[in-house]
Amino acid sequence: MRRVPRFRSGGAARREPRTARLEVRDWKADDFLKSSDDDIATYLVDKYSIACPMLRPEDKSMLEPHDTYVVVEDFAGRWVERLAILLTFVVPLHRRERGLHAPPSYVG
C-alpha cells in the first residue's frame, strides 16, 4: 500500500520566512538603524509568525468501515490489487487565522 505523508510542508511554513527576508532587504538603511532591536523583532514576529493547528481529541470519531481496493506488492514482487477494509479515524483540527496546511492523512 502506498503511504501518503501525514503533513505536507509548504504554504505558510515556506512562504513566510522568504517574504520576511525580502521585506527586510527592502528596508531603507536609515529606518533600520533608527529602530531598536526590540521594535524590529516585535514587528517581524507579529507579522510573520504562523500558528500550528491544534488537535481536538475530545471531538474524535470513527466513520463507518467500508470496502476498498489497495495495490500491494506480493511475496514474488508483483503488484496486485486486493480487497481491504478502510477504517477512518477522525481527529479534527482547530485552525487559527494563519496556520500550517494540514490535509487529511492516511496511514497504510
Lookup: cell for 59: 471531538
Helix axes 37-48, 12-26, angle to 10 degrees: 140
Q: If DSSP codes are grouped into helix, strand and coil, which group holds residue 43?
A: helix
- Domains of the chain: total: 1
Q: Is residue 29 part of a domain?
A: yes
Distance separating alpha carbons of residues 108 and 86, to the nearest angstrom? 10
Output the pTM of the full model. Answer: 0.42
- Domain of residue 79 covers 12-94
Q: Is residue 50 part of a domain?
A: yes
Mind listing the pLDDT tens digit for each residue in 6-63? 444 455 566 777 888 888 888 888 888 888 888 888 888 888 777 677 788 898 899 8
Lookup: cell for 26: 527592502
Q: Is residue 105 part of a domain?
A: no
Mind listing the pLDDT tens digit for each residue in 83-94? 999 888 888 877
Q: Is residue 57 part of a domain?
A: yes
Q: Is residue 40 part of a domain?
A: yes
